[in-house]
Amino acid sequence: MEEKRRVKPYEIGELDQYLLGQGNHYEIYKKLGAHLVEDGDKKGTYFAVWAPNAQKVSVIGEFNDWDLTADVMERNDPVGIYTCFVEGAKENEMYKFCIETKKGELLYKADPYANYAELRPGTASRITDISKIKWIDKAWMDQRLKWDHKEKPMSIYEVHIGSWRKHPEDEDGFYNYREFAKEIVKYVHNMGYTHIELMGIAEHPFDGSWGYQVTGYFAPTSRYGTPEDFAWMINYLHKNKVGVILDWVPAHFPKDAHGLADFDGVPEYEYADPRMGEHPDWGTKIFDFGKNEVKNFLISNALFWIEHFHIDGLRVDAVASILYLDYGKKDGEWVPNEFGGNKNLQAVEFFKHLNSVVLGRNPGAVMIAEESTAWPKVTGEVEDDGLGFSLKWNMGWMHDFTEYMKLDPLFRKGAHYNMTFAMSYAYSEKYILVLSHDEVVHLKCSMINKMPGLGWEKFENLKAAYAFMMGHSGKKLLFMGQDFAQLREWSEKRELDWYLLAEKEHQQMQSWVRDLLHLYRRRKAFYEQDNTWEGFEWINADDRDRSIYSFVRHAKGGKQNLLFVISFTPVARDDYRVGVPKRKQYRLILNSDEEKYGGTGKKRPAVYKAEKSECDGRPYSFAYPLPAYGVAIFEF
């Protein structure tokens, strides 16, 4: 009997195929794709691709002059993986898979598991070796194991690298990953953010998609450098104590010819039925969450970013579009589930699996859902039929908040409870309050230009808005440019309008946000009890006629407490009286009327003593001169 050949460590074996078929090969990216190897005296690259419906597959590239017949791949069943070793195929050389379909058509596909890609508009993959990356962030990674997002500050700066800053002399002008790392660390440290969230990192063909139509899920985009440059950026950020979150897009993928769509001549990564497999509004394909190999692709990809590239968390895009079968579809354009409903039960199980594995293997990492509906238990435990996410974007709060802030102050009393409603459900999930890129594009205006009034009033409105956001329960996210009151809507084609910081009003806005962020990090009352009723207490949620809100944030054990008073009208209240929980001294720690924030600079006492005088249903109170659009934060 012929002895069975021993599988070499880099080759696809029976166990690999079995685990992939079961949907449990969490490190399949180490086997599929292109991997540089030394095999005895031979040096080259081992290629592997999943294409179960292909008739034949060849790997073509610079190493064989793109010859379709030079390196025909061998089929490995039962799951349909094609493999070959190409001697002499070297690092950085470009390649594609030529897939012959059962109809005899030839498709030229980029490698779904490639770790590096040709710069767009090119669409080839590149051979690279990410196993040799040196990691020097052990201190950060050790600390992450003990980090608990529920009781720690999270103030996230959402950034698009390609338009944060640009080199004016270059055609694209992109900062590379290393340049960006050095500059963003300075900015984040100065402003006081704890994390950055990066848009558009996975490889994508079209700049205008902002990275939300991905063709290279395992490749940091080559727009800003190599995978080694990307890793250098992560090392540098971690060394400087900045967390990194990536946008991650398991909802859909584009129809570009070199991408995942109809990968081997038939729908492989997407549902075969177009009513299940296509988003009519977006013109994209929907992943098939009923197929183990596809779920494995996505789960291993999430683990790839968090485990191999040390990313601290993933913000999962468009979760609602995955959960609902009829999302963005009319009658007849979708297929009900087996019980006749509109919930994608396969996607529900996928999320439970994904979050259990990612968070179970990586304590301290976070999975964040951008989920825009009232789907229950998005951040609930999987064991309690929850989806298992760490945090959920609070889209309801964002909508109510921005609609209120757009109103002329005269009409705000009619929408007073827009600003209080979110507290009625604040603890149903673990939330992040977000003012993201989605709120400052497509004619929605920048944050400053959402505000009513002219000139100074816009700035005063926005300062009050940011103070309310920072005081409200929930983690925080702010998109780049909004912290210095960028006037124009964001565009990926140009850098932020940094020149505005030559003007006093924009400097003052930036100083205000900076001081809020640093105060947020220094005072546990802001964040330590974000997810419990003990952390937040209304003093007066009903002062609709004056459009003033007052509330208290508590740290654990009542060791630290903060009182917020925020006015949303241009009327000064020279003797505003606020009820307080205790007969204590109240120290003013942030006052919007200071000159450095654009206020009058009028001197105020540093400490206010509560007296026995009923107000706001409390036996004690004190008076404070509250200016137009005034914000005052007191510590007690």
* DSSP string across 154-180: -EEEEE-HHHHSB-TTSSS-BPPHHHH
Instruction: Identify the band that residue 4 occupies on the pLDDT scale cut at 50, 70 and 90.
Output: low
Instruction: Identify the band that residue 40 occupies on the pLDDT scale cut at 50, 70 and 90.
Output: confident
For 484, which DSSP code?
A: G
Whether the per-residue pLDDT at 3 is higher than 70: the answer is: no
Asked whether 619 and 581 are in contact (CB, 8 A), the reply is no
What integer pLDDT is reported at residue 390 of this predicted model? 98
Task: Check if 179 is active-site.
Answer: no
When comparing pLDDT for 139 and 5, which is higher?
139
Whether the per-residue pLDDT at 598 is higher than 80: the answer is: yes
Query: Is the C-alpha dihedral spanning 233, 235, 236, 240 positive or negative?
Result: positive
| CA–CA distance, 554 with 560 (Å, rounded to integer) | 6
Q: What is the mean pLDDT of residues 502-512?
A: 98
What integer pLDDT is reported at residue 5 of this predicted model? 62
Q: pLDDT tens digits for 298-322? A: 999 999 999 999 999 999 999 999 9
Catalytic residue among 288, 317, 483, 530: 317
The residue type at 286: I
Query: Is the C-alpha dihedral spanning 262, 263, 264, 267 positive or negative?
Result: negative
Q: Which of 393, 279, 426 is nearest to 344 (CA)?
A: 279
Instruction: Identify the band that residue 433 occupies on the pLDDT scale cut at 50, 70 and 90.
Output: very high
Parse the chain into domains and list their residue ranges. Answer: 14-132, 533-635
Q: pLDDT tens digits for 340-378? A: 999 999 999 999 999 999 999 999 999 999 999 999 999
Q: What is the mean pLDDT of residues 473-497?
A: 98
- Three-state DSSP at 504 gives helix
Asked whether 24 and 68 are in contact (CB, 8 A), the reply is no
Tokens 């790839």, located at residue: 304
CA distances from 526 to 225, 309, 517, 539, 551 (A): 38, 31, 10, 16, 12
What integer pLDDT is reported at residue 175 of this predicted model? 97
Provide the mean pLDDT of the chain.
Answer: 96
* Strand (E) or helix (H) holding 529: none
Asked whether 468 and 549 are in contact (CB, 8 A), the reply is yes
Same fold, 14-132 and 533-635: yes
Instruction: Identify the band that residue 2 occupies on the pLDDT scale cut at 50, 70 and 90.
Output: very low
Whether the per-residue pLDDT at 510 is higher than 70: the answer is: yes
What integer pLDDT is reported at residue 448 of this predicted model? 98
Is 533-635 in CATH node 2.60.40.1180?
Answer: yes
Task: Check if 429 is active-site.
Answer: no
- Three-state DSSP at 63 gives helix
What integer pLDDT is reported at residue 42 of this predicted model? 87
What integer pLDDT is reported at residue 585 of this predicted model? 97
| CA–CA distance, 532 with 430 (Å, rounded to integer) | 10
The length of the chain in residues reads: 636
| CA–CA distance, 188 with 155 (Å, rounded to integer) | 10
The residue type at 415: A
Whether the per-residue pLDDT at 498 is higher than 80: the answer is: yes
Catalytic residue among 100, 197, 312, 370: 370
> Nearest 5°: CA angle at 309, between 304 and 312?
95
What integer pLDDT is reported at residue 170 of this predicted model? 85
| CA–CA distance, 241 with 358 (Å, rounded to integer) | 22
Q: pLDDT tens digits for 179-205? A: 999 999 999 999 999 999 999 999 999
Q: What is the mean pLDDT of residues 577-593?
A: 97
Q: What is the mean pLDDT of residues 415-426?
A: 97
Report residue 366 as tokens: 């976070």
CA distances from 243 to 185, 305, 319, 378 (A): 10, 14, 23, 23
What integer pLDDT is reported at residue 39 of this predicted model? 82
What integer pLDDT is reported at residue 260 of this predicted model? 98
For 281, which DSSP code?
A: T
Question: What is this structure's pTM?
Answer: 0.96
Whether the per-residue pLDDT at 68 is higher than 90: the answer is: yes
Percent of the chain with pLDDT over 70: 99
What integer pLDDT is reported at residue 566 of this predicted model? 98
Q: What is the mean pLDDT of residues 286-292?
A: 97
**Which CATH superfamily does the domain covering 14-132 fall into?**
Immunoglobulins (2.60.40.10)
The residues with which 561 forms a beta bridge, in sequence order, are 554
